[in-house]
């Protein structure tokens, strides 16, 4: 039994490329490397489709790992037509792309295209991780109507970083400046992102192998592990200008909370967010602890706003076959049912 | 007396996870130190200067050998991106025009229905016909623009220097 499990463990490690992102999807708009994907629901039950914004430093297929392991599939099965703006993998030619560009030239344009495609005037916008941070700024500046805004493990208040406080202080005091270095290399390579994230979460990481070894006789667990592991190692480069803007405006100056954030020179007022708001965070997330997410509740103008703290870690909510229950319930109460399957 | 079975792997997982937590805590505490911050402070500028010099030499050498550099290729790609953006903006405007034309057509139809015995009926019909013609032309134009955008994307593909060539599940072929 012990040896059999070890043999399964070795088999899993030598597994070839595992397919991900298998839900039925159609590209409806492309710009540069970005694609707006449409995932039709077989039994559309709600008037407002869902518009997903994922992080700019990871690949979006975590939302659609495999059948029965896909949040997107959970949305379409529940009757929501779903759109996803996938930023693609930027190259050296995109080194001057800023966070403002991501918001105005990609997210806002894609949202307009999705509205146009769905023949509707409002949607539920869901932002994950850093994508949620961008979704918040987008919701504050856009003229387009948003029915509901859901922010999942999205950092807002960067003053509350739990570890590396001395580095953060040095960054805030202007002692450590990396702008010039990043501008020189142009792009932040995916390995920088990978090891940077790892430094915050776990510089030495082998416990996931022990978890696989422990449950390697369960084929379902093996498959999920392989897909999650693939995603964990699959980072994308970030344009240097976007990195600098993130580090200076969002992390160092904490402008979302402390004020002064501008998009293309126009001040951002988060009280402009008046749509229904659901913010959720997880208890065991060393990367984006709940203290970083919750402060958005005091910044927005929304009357209907809810904050939920779940059990689990950073990616555990999205890599599932169903929506987290309170989210499913919340969406049911905040979306308009349609009478026919149009 | 009940028999207790020891699961080696479960024990290994629990012990290993605890040890990993301890090691990581230690590493993170060691890295969160002013001496390291000082190294970063002093060495970043020196490293940046060296990289800039290297880039400068590469550009100069490439210019002498008449070879395009990564910067040259990316500049050409940026021109394509700008054109792509302009096409998108035109497409948005055309969409707005189509929407307005559609509304006009509905209005003309309504007027024609309310005044169906008046002299305006032929005028309404010709107006509707003209609007339909315009809509058709716009649709053709949008189709042509889409083709141009696709061709530009193909050209861009030839110029792009991808940092991480990997199998992308979201790549459209």
- B20 membership: H or E segment, kind and range: helix B8-31
Task: Write out the two tokens for A255.
Answer: 């402008």
Q: Which residues contact A156 (CB under 8 A, 6 or more apart)?
A: A133, A136, A256, A257, A292, A293, A294, A295, A296, A299
Condensed to tens digits (0 to 9), the pLDDT of residues B79-91 reads 999 999 999 999 9
CA distance A105 to A28: 16
CA distance B55 to A184: 9
What angle, 0 to 180 degrees and rounded to 10, lies between the N-to-C axes of helices A207-214 and A2-13?
130
- From chain A, pick out residues whose CB is under 8 angstroms from the CB of B40: 176
Which among A92, A195, A287 is the top mutation candidate for probing chain B, defined by the most B β-carbons within 10 Å of its own β-carbon? Answer: A92
- Do B48 and A60 lie within an 8 Å CB cutoff? no
Weakest mean pLDDT among A27-41, A99-113, A232-246, B123-137: B123-137
CA distance A134 to A23: 25
CA distance A321 to B86: 40
Q: What is the pLDDT of residue A216?
A: 87
pLDDT band at B161 (very low <50, low <70, confident <90, very high): low
- From chain B, pick out residues whose CB is under 8 angstroms from the CB of A111: none
Three-state DSSP class for residue A318: coil
Q: CA A6, A8, A9, A15: dihedral to nearest 10 degrees?
A: 150
Q: Where are the domains of chain A?
A: 2-334
Q: How do A122-128 and A50-53 pair as beta strands? A: parallel
Q: Which residue has the higher pLDDT, A54 or B164?
A: A54
CA distance A63 to A53: 10
| pLDDT of residue A97 exceeding 50 | yes
Helices (H) and strands (E) in chain A, counts: 14, 14
| Contact predicate B145/B87, CB 8 Å | yes
Task: Give the rounded percent of residues in chain A with a pLDDT score beyond 70.
Answer: 98
User: How far B129 CA lies from chain A's nearest CA (Å)?
Assistant: 25
User: How far A300 CA lies from chain B's nearest CA (Å)?
Assistant: 30
- Do B44 and A86 lie within an 8 Å CB cutoff? no
Residue A298: count other Cβ atoms within 10 Å of its Cβ. Answer: 11
Mean pLDDT along residues B51-64? 94
Q: Regarding the domain delimited by A2-334, which CATH topology (the fold level of the hierarchy) does it fall under? A: Rossmann fold (3.40.50)
CA distance A226 to A209: 10
Q: How do A34-39 and A26-31 pair as beta strands? A: antiparallel
Task: Write out the two tokens for B104.
Answer: 């006009």
pTM for the whole structure: 0.89
- Do B81 and A93 lie within an 8 Å CB cutoff? yes
CA distance B43 to A205: 28
Q: Is A117 exposed, middle or buried (0-12, 13-18, 19+ CB in 10 A)?
A: middle
Average pLDDT, chain A: 91
Q: What is the pLDDT of residue A72?
A: 95
Q: What is the pLDDT of residue B1?
A: 46
The DSSP-derived string for A45-56 is: -BSS-EEEE--S
Condensed to tens digits (0 to 9), the pLDDT of residues A290-329 reads 889 999 999 999 999 999 988 877 777 776 778 887 889 9
Confirm whether the ipTM is greater than 0.90.
Answer: no
Task: Write out the two tokens for B6.
Answer: 């020891």
Q: Where are the domains of chain B?
A: 8-65, 70-159
Which value, in Å, is the radius of gyration of the alpha carbons in chain A? Answer: 20
Q: What is the pLDDT of residue A342?
A: 41
CA B5 to chain centre: 55
User: How far A3 CA lies from chain B's nearest CA (Å)?
Assistant: 11
Residue A83: phi and psi, rounded to 5, are -120, 145
Q: Which residues contact B48 (CB under 8 A, 6 or more apart)?
A: A180, A181, A184
Q: What is the pLDDT of residue A341?
A: 45
What angle, 0 to 180 degrees and rounded to 10, lies between the N-to-C axes of helices A2-13 and B8-31?
50
- A310 membership: H or E segment, kind and range: strand A305-310
| Contact predicate A158/A287, CB 8 Å | no
CA distance A277 to B131: 43
């Amino acid at each position: 039994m012990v040896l059999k499990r070890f043999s399964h463990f070795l088999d899993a490690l030598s597994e070839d490329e595992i397919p991900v992102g298998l839900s039925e999807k159609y590209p409806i708009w492309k710009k540069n490397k970005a694609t707006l994907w449409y995932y039709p629901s077989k039994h559309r039950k709600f008037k407002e489709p869902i518009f997903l914004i994922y992080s700019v430093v990871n690949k979006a297929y975590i939302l659609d790992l495999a059948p029965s392991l896909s949040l997107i599939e959970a949305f379409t099965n529940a009757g929501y037509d779903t759109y996803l703006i996938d930023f693609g993998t930027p190259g050296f030619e995109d080194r001057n792309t800023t966070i403002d560009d991501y918001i105005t030239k990609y997210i806002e344009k894609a949202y307009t295209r999705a509205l146009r495609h769905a023949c509707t005037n409002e949607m539920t916008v869901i932002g994950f991780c850093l994508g949620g941070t961008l979704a918040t700024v987008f919701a504050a500046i856009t003229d387009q109507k948003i029915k509901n805004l859901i922010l999942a493990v999205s950092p807002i208040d960067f003053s509350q970083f739990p570890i590396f406080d001395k580095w953060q202080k040095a960054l805030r005091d202007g002692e450590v400046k990396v702008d010039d270095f990043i501008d020189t290399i142009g792009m932040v390579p995916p390995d920088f992102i990978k090891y940077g994230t790892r430094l915050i979460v776990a510089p030495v990481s082998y416990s996931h192998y022990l978890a696989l070894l422990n449950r390697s006789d369960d084929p379902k667990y093996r498959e999920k592990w392989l897909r999650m592991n693939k995603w964990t190692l699959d980072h994308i480069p970030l344009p240097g200008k976007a990195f600098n803007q993130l580090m200076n405006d969002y992390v160092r100056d904490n402008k979302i909370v402390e004020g002064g954030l501008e998009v293309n020179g126009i001040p951002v007022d988060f009280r402009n967010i008046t749509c229904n708001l659901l913010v959720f965070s997880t208890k065991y997330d060393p990367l984006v602890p709940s203290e970083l997410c919750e402060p958005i509740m005091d910044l927005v103008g929304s009357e209907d706003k809810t904050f939920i703290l779940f059990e689990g870690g950073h990616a555990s909510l999205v890599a599932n076959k169903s929506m987290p229950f309170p989210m499913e319930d919340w969406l049911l109460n905040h979306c308009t049912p349609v009478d026919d399957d149009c | 007396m009940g028999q207790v079975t020891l699961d080696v792997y479960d024990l290994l997982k629990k012990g290993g996870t605890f040890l990993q937590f301890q090691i990581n805590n230690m590493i993170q505490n060691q890295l969160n130190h002013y001496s390291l911050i000082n190294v970063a402070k002093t060495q970043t500028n020196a490293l940046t200067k060296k990289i800039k010099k290297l880039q400068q030499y590469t550009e100069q050498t490439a210019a002498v050998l008449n070879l395009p550099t990564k910067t040259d290729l990316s500049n050409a790609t940026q021109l394509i991106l700008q054109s792509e953006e302009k096409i998108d903006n035109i497409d948005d405007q055309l969409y707005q025009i189509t929407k307005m034309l559609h509304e006009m057509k509905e209005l003309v139809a309504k007027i024609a229905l309310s005044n169906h015995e008046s002299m305006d009926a032929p005028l309404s019909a010709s107006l509707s016909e003209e609007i339909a013609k315009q809509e058709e032309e716009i649709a053709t134009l949008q189709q042509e623009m889409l083709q141009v955008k696709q061709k530009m994307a193909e050209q861009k593909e030839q110029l792009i220097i991808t940092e991480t060539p990997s199998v992308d599940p979201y790549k459209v072929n």
